[in-house]
């Protein structure tokens, strides 16, 4: 293995660790009030109905709520991210919970 390959391998490993820390520590949403907790529960139920299947049931794919809020029409708006193996993000979705 050449010196350049070793440097690139180390860079890839450092980036994998960085994205893992970001996904676990910084992407978590913590509701502050009871109203936010209710909105998170409502959004989580909506997400579970929308994303069910073998990959989600086996925990190879997962979702995490990033942000919730209310719209002018009194709908709950949710921003959530999908993950592979709880760490690697692969898609963001913005939905109105009905």
pLDDT band at 9 (very low <50, low <70, confident <90, very high): very high
Number of domains in the chain: 1
Arithmetic mean of pLDDT, 1-22: 92
pLDDT for the residue 51: 86
pLDDT for the residue 75: 86
pLDDT for the residue 10: 96
Between 48 and 24, the more confident residue is: 48
Arithmetic mean of pLDDT, 49-67: 88
Question: The pTM is what?
Answer: 0.76
- How far apart (Å, rounded) are the C-alpha atoms in residues 68 and 76? 7
Reply yes or no on whether the pLDDT at 31 is more than 90.
Answer: no
Cα(first)–Cα(last) distance of the chain, in Å?
55
- CA 6 to chain CA centroid, nearest Å: 32
DSSP letter for each residue of 25-87: IIS-----SHHHHHHHHHHHHHHHHHS-SHHHHTTSEEEEEEEEEE-TTS-EEEEEEEEETTT
pLDDT for the residue 13: 95
């Amino acid at each position: 293995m050449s010196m350049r390959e070793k440097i690139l391998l180390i860079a890839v490993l450092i980036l994998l660790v960085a994205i893992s820390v970001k996904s676990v520590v910084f992407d978590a949403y913590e509701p502050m009030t009871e109203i936010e907790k209710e909105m998170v529960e409502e959004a989580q139920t909506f997400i579970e109905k929308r994303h069910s299947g073998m990959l989600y049931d086996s925990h190879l794919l997962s979702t995490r709520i990033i942000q919730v809020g209310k719209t002018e029409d009194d709908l709950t708006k949710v921003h959530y991210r999908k993950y592979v193996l709880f760490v690697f993000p692969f898609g963001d979705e913005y939905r109105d919970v009905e």
